[in-house]
Each structure stands twice: as structure tokens, then as C-alpha cells.
Amino acid sequence: MAATLQDFIHYYQVASNNSSRTLLLLHGTGGNEQSMLALGRELAPGAALLSPRGKVLEGDYPRFFRRKAEGVFDVEDLIARTHELADWLEAAIVAYRIPRQSLIALGYSNGANMAASMLLLHPGAFQRAVLFRAMLPLEPEKAPALTGTRVLIQAGQYDSMIALPRAESLAKLLRECGAEVVFNLQRADHGLVEADINAAHEWINHLNDTDH
């Protein structure tokens, strides 16, 4: 059965101020389709915003895929949920007439891991991503071709939830697959700090300069 817009509760806002960007906003555990809107508007003023709510519940907290424990993912569920979200994104692109080249995935924590999984399993879904507090979510059976893909990874030096080598492993694999990766290590825990916001804002602005 083909995916439809109704498959995910979501928020969509059209672009303004002649922006040529569309942010795919992917929240962390306990977030929803509203959680990343303010951040998206700050990082890319005027951009269109597409923000789905994760469909997995951990207690009362929405997530994009199940985990067995903190940092231990249910890989089978992750793969299935990645395919499901990628199919929904295709439906949203058609329904909202989103130019694929305008897409930038912007994920935090669980949402960043989902975005990373989409890069590895559906490399054509988008070619730009900002990943806050991400780690390598899975080892793909087949290495994707990511030449032309650009990724910003914002890691926390004191992140109590993600050991630094797990964030570095994601950057290493993406680079091996041909992606251009900027890896920034911030003096921060799992939460975002001003330096994260500033770095992401600068990176997105630089995309504007180099993509056109």
C-alpha cells in the first residue's frame, strides 16, 4: 500500500521570504511535530518546515523507533521505521510539491539517529543533514553511495548518553561512503548549547552560498 500524508501526524509550513529551503524536522525522544519548529525557524528563517511525529511510544514519549535500552537499538524496528518514514517523505514531497534539492534534514538525538539511518538506507531521500547528538544507528548491509551528500554532525564532548566514539563512527562511515562531513565537538552534554546553534546556522548559510 502506498504511503499517504495521513500515515504520520505532522506539521507543514510553506516557505516565505523567497526561501529555497525545506527543513525536515525530526525530534528527539518525548518530542512531537511542534518541538523543533522554533529551532528550524532560527536556523533557516523563511524555510518551509516539514515535521512528523514519531510513531513509537516509549511510555508516553514519542520516538521514531524502538530501543531495548539507552543506546541499544531494536535494529529490526529501526530498519522498518526508516523505510516507513522514507516512504512517507516521498508522499509529502509529492503532496506539498517540495523540490527534493531543497530538503535539509534537521534531527536531534533520536531524530538525528533516524536521519542518519535514512542516509544509510535511503541515500536518495535527501542530500543535506544537520545531526545534533547522533551516533551510528546501524551497520548497513550495503554501503550507500553518498557522493554529493553534505552532513553536519554536532557532538557533545561530555554527552552522558552517547559515547564520543559512537558519534565518531557515524562520521567515519559517512565519509567512507563519499559524504562530505563536518564534525564539530562542543563543550556540552546531550542538550544543545549556543555554539551548536551558531555552527548549524553558519553551515546552513554556507549551503546557500555554495549550492546556487
Q: What is the DSSP letter of 77?
A: H
Question: Which one, of 115, 104, 157, lies nearest residue 137 by Cα?
Answer: 115
What pLDDT score does 208 carry? 62
Q: Which residues of the chain have pLDDT under 50?
A: 212
| Catalytic residue status for 16 | no
| Catalytic residue status for 109 | yes
What pLDDT score does 70 carry? 85
Q: Kindly name the residue from 51, 109, 117, 196 that is annotated as catalytic.
A: 109
All cell numbers assigned to 172: 567515519
Q: What is the DSSP letter of 161?
A: S
What pLDDT score does 212 carry? 44
Domain count, the chain: 1
The Cβ of residue 126 has, within 10 Å, a number of other Cβ atoms equal to 22
Residue 130 belongs to a domain with what CATH number? 3.40.50.1820
pTM of the model: 0.96
Which tens digits make up the pLDDT trace of 49-75?
A: 999 999 999 999 999 999 999 889 999
What pLDDT score does 210 carry? 55
Domain that holds residue 31: 5-211
Q: Kindly name the residue from 51, 102, 159, 196 that is annotated as catalytic.
A: 159
What pLDDT score does 160 carry? 95
Q: Kindly name the residue from 10, 122, 190, 201 that is annotated as catalytic.
A: 190
| Catalytic residue status for 74 | no
Reduce the DSSP state of residue 50 to 3 states and report it. strand
Alpha carbon of 73 to those of 41, 138, 139, 168, 181: distances in Å?
A: 30, 8, 12, 18, 24
Which tens digits make up the pLDDT trace of 15-52?
A: 998 899 999 999 999 999 999 999 999 999 999 999 99
